[in-house]
Amino acid sequence: MYTANELIEKVNKGVKNIQYNAEPQNLYAPIQYILSIGGKRIRPLLMLMGYNLYKDDVDTILNNALALETYHNFTLLHDDLMDQSDMRRGNLTVHKKWNENTAILSGDTMLIMAYQLFNQGVKNNEAWAAFIDATLGVCEGQQYDIDFETCNDVSEEEYMEMIRLKTSLLLGYALKIGAILGGADAEDQANLYAFGEKMGLAFQLQDDWLDVYGDPKKFQKKLGGDIVDNKKTFMLIKAYQLADETQKAELDKWMSGKDFQETKKIAAVTHIYNIVGISQLVQQKIEKLFSQALTCLEKVKVDSQKKTELRHFADKLLGRQY
Ligand code: IPE
Ligand code: IPE
Ligand code: MG
Ligand code: MG
Ligand code: MG
């Protein structure tokens, strides 16, 4: 069995070796750029780890794993355009470094390359169906995320479903595809999927928390973007529930305001989060989801010792700062 670090190494080498057509330069340079400036590589890693529970020849499915990472990076190009984010992985986003049309077309190209890579991997109908479900679902989640920006009565359940689609699916399916290709039975596939899904929910809650409370030196993205964009995060939904009338009016004012200084809006909304104790609430929810995730992992019918790397992975993810 491989350690997570060894598998990340394989993924990074694989990413470097992805072949591009030479021309047009302006189509492929942004793709190489986004894939070279960092990234935690957790999705391909989870696929390889899921597979490695059952089989050792992980290199066989490297292209399937690279497909998932390429797809994820496609979503980032379009997401940054949709969210008007200037910074990604500590660097300029593609639409800022190049322009918006480039982010659209290079993003589209990455989506196609993702399917091309998956097709160059191990051929398996079930895995293909899972890849398609995952990649379609993310777009559905992203649409809800955008719809919710202009909707003022998003419930906690709706938020959880939105993040399940936009984020959890990919983590769950990464493990599931690895398990399918590794020859796991349906029960193990489902439990690994559930492990990834719960972890994915926690992962997006963390991402939203970090967007407000992250350390600017470590987060690698600009803080406060979700507040500026009126994203209906768990934090905002809970803040509305816990706020008194004055605080609600203050939140309403910032949500409906058009001409505002971003820093002032971020400070004012964060101040309300602090007063009503949002940070602790999110942290509790994150911990609960991680513990539910681990319960699902325990049900997977392979030697407990084989699952050590995945347990460590979850523990490390729980304390992530970027
Ligand atoms: C960012 O994903 C998008 C979310 C789902 C929150 P990651 O946090 O995995 O981003 P990278 O790939 O490590 O940069
Ligand atoms: C995006 O969620 C999830 C994706 C599918 C890309 P966010 O919009 O919160 O991701 P970041 O914070 O920009 O990475
Ligand atoms: Mg974003
Ligand atoms: Mg987004
Ligand atoms: Mg975010």
Q: CATH no. for residue 206? A: 1.10.600.10
Question: Which one of 35, 37, 42 would you pick to mutate in the ligand 1 pocket, going by the greatest count of ligand atoms within 8 A of its CB?
Answer: 42
Cβ–Cβ under 8 Å, residues 171 and 44: no
Q: Are residues 144 and 198 in the same domain?
A: yes
Q: Are residues 251 and 138 in the same domain?
A: yes
Q: Is 168 in the pocket of ligand 1 (CB under 6 A)?
A: no
Atom of ligand 1 nearest to the CA of 167: 5
Domain finish residue from 123, 140, 165: 123
The number of the ligand nearest the C-alpha atom of 139 reads 2
Q: Is 97 in the pocket of ligand 1 (CB under 6 A)?
A: no
Q: Are residues 97 and 153 in the same domain?
A: no
Q: Are residues 41 and 139 in the same domain?
A: no
Q: Are residues 108 and 135 in the same domain?
A: no
Phi, psi angles (nearest 5°) of residue 87: -130, 140
Is the model's pTM score more than 0.95?
yes
Domain finish residue from 98, 123, 148: 123
Q: Are residues 62 and 210 in the same domain?
A: no
The number of the ligand nearest the C-alpha atom of 145 reads 4
Question: Which one of 33, 69, 76 would you pick to mutate in the ligand 1 pocket, going by the greatest count of ligand atoms within 8 A of its CB?
Answer: 76
Question: Which one of 203, 209, 313 would you pick to mutate in the ligand 1 pocket, going by the greatest count of ligand atoms within 8 A of its CB?
Answer: 203
Q: Are residues 140 and 265 in the same domain?
A: yes
Output the pLDDT for position 159.
98
Output the pLDDT for position 310.
98
Output the pLDDT for position 297.
98
Is the Cα torsion angle 130, 135, 141, 147 positive or negative in sign?
Answer: negative
* Among protein residues, the one whose CA lies closest to atom 11 of ligand 1: 39
Q: Is 79 in the pocket of ligand 2 (CB under 6 A)?
A: yes
Output the pLDDT for position 32.
98
Output the pLDDT for position 57.
98
Query: What does the alpha-carbon distance between residue 242 and residue 63 come to, in Å, rounded to a whole number?
Result: 47
Domain finish residue from 99, 123, 147: 123
Output the pLDDT for position 20.
95
Output the pLDDT for position 94.
98
Question: What is the distance in A from the centroid of ligand 3 to the CA of 57?
Answer: 35
Segments of the chain with pLDDT less than 50:
none
Q: Is 181 in the pocket of ligand 2 (CB under 6 A)?
A: no
**Tally of CB atoms within 10 A around 78:** 20
Q: Are residues 169 and 79 in the same domain?
A: no
Atom of ligand 1 nearest to the CA of 38: 14
Q: Which residues constitute the domain of residue 38?
A: 1-123
Q: Are residues 257 and 310 in the same domain?
A: yes
Q: Classify the phi-psi angles of 304: left when phi > 0, otherwise alpha if psi is within -120 to 50, otherwise beta.
A: alpha
Q: What is the CA radius of gyration of the chain?
A: 20
Output the pLDDT for position 192.
99
Q: Are residues 196 and 105 in the same domain?
A: no
Output the pLDDT for position 242.
98
Query: What does the alpha-carbon distance between residue 31 and residue 142 come to, in Å, rounded to a whole number?
Result: 21
Q: Is 39 in the pocket of ligand 1 (CB under 6 A)?
A: yes
Q: Are residues 250 and 151 in the same domain?
A: yes
Question: What is the distance in A from the centroid of ligand 5 to the CA of 24?
Answer: 31
- Number of structural domains (the chain) is 2
Atom of ligand 1 nearest to the CA of 220: 14
Output the pLDDT for position 180.
99
Q: Are residues 52 and 129 in the same domain?
A: no
Question: Which one of 207, 220, 226 would you pick to mutate in the ligand 1 pocket, going by the greatest count of ligand atoms within 8 A of its CB?
Answer: 207
Number of residues that this document lists for the chain:
322
